[in-house]
Chains A and B, each alone.
Chain A
Amino acid sequence: MHQVGEVPVLDLGGVLLVSIQVELLDDTVLALQQDLTERVAETGARGVIIDISSVDIVDSFLARALRDIAAATEVLAARTVLVGMRPAVAITLVELGLTLPGMTTALSVERGLELLDTRLDENYPTRQG
């Protein structure tokens, strides 16, 4: 397993899975953005799944970083899927004026993997915390 700050990045074979479980500092967000983009290039991953089900707020800084990750991976021929956004976060983002245009989203990691045409490894705990 690979780690950016306290954010683990799992390689599921062609798909990188990032599960954000900690309160993010702005620096960690930027490090994640850079690291993920580099890892997509290194591994030739065709997809990135960012699981934000444990994230209780997405402000404009994090939203921009997520959008930039998606844009950069797309240039590298990989698709980024944002999964698990909490309903309260979605409502707040819309009111904030952010609708994340162009980002692919899914309700869960499983659905995200389906979008990327990948089956979930049995070793990955599907329900956490």
Chain B
Amino acid sequence: MTTTAASRVVQVSSEMDIVRVRQAAREAAVEAGFSLVEQTKLVTAASELARNTLVHGGGGQVSTELTVQQGRTVIRMVFTDSGPGIADVDQALADGFSTRGGMGLGLGGAKRLVDHFAIETGPDRGTVVTISSAARRGRRR
């Protein structure tokens, strides 16, 4: 059974909104009982992806949702933009690929920091990145 516990949407149109997305991720992670390391990973991934939404996607929105699946609280975040999209996803996910000032670790790095990562994109189709993570059992603190 899946129960949606809470959902929150942040519009991303400025740098300040990246901070808001980080805060949304942090609050959700605390509520879900994530350990400090788990919180930090999720918030860092959210920061990378929100920056992509702003810089590459020209802005968009980020929704954060807590669901309970079989007794585990799962956080799902969806980053949506209607920008130019990504022509070569494999290349964009590869470390060292950057079209702008970053270290080229944004997309691939974010993927490593979460349990599940999915991307839907293509030229002129915009980009939707969905990530989800759950707290490990018995490590609540």
Among A64, A88, A97, the residue within 8 A (CB) of B37 is A88
- Whole-angstrom distance between the alpha carbons of A10 and B103 in the complex? 29
B51 touches A57 (CB 8 A): no
Among A63, A64, A92, A98, the residue within 8 A (CB) of B40 is A92
- Whole-angstrom distance between the alpha carbons of A92 and B37 in the complex? 7
B44 touches A57 (CB 8 A): yes
A56 touches B108 (CB 8 A): no
List residues of A (80-129) whose CB comes within 8 Å of B's CBs.
86-89, 91-92, 95-98
Contact with A along B9-32 (1 / 0, CB 8 A): 000000110110010001000000
Complex contacts, B19 vs chain A, CB 8 Å: 23, 25
A59 touches B95 (CB 8 A): no
B95 touches A92 (CB 8 A): no
Closest to B54 in A: A26
- Whole-angstrom distance between the alpha carbons of A61 and B51 in the complex? 9
Interface residues on B, range: 20 to 34
Complex contacts, A87 vs chain B, CB 8 Å: 37
Complex contacts, B16 vs chain A, CB 8 Å: 25
- Whole-angstrom distance between the alpha carbons of A20 and B18 in the complex? 18
- Whole-angstrom distance between the alpha carbons of A56 and B40 in the complex? 7
Closest to B48 in A: A59
- Whole-angstrom distance between the alpha carbons of A64 and B103 in the complex? 6
Contact with B along A70-82 (1 / 0, CB 8 A): 0000000000000
Least CB distance, B85 to chain A, in whole angstroms = 21
Q: Which residues of B are at the interface with A, using a C-beta cutoff of 8 A?
A: 15-16, 18-19, 22, 26, 36-37, 39-41, 43-44, 47-48, 51, 95, 101-106, 108-109, 112-113
Q: Which residues of A are at the interface with B, using a C-beta cutoff of 8 A?
A: 23, 25-27, 56-61, 63-64, 86-89, 91-92, 95-98
21 A-B pairs in the complex with CB atoms less than 8 angstroms apart: A23-B19, A25-B15, A25-B18, A25-B19, A27-B15, A56-B26, A57-B22, A59-B51, A60-B106, A61-B102, A64-B102, A64-B103, A86-B40, A88-B40, A91-B40, A95-B41, A96-B44, A96-B105, A97-B95, A97-B105, A97-B108
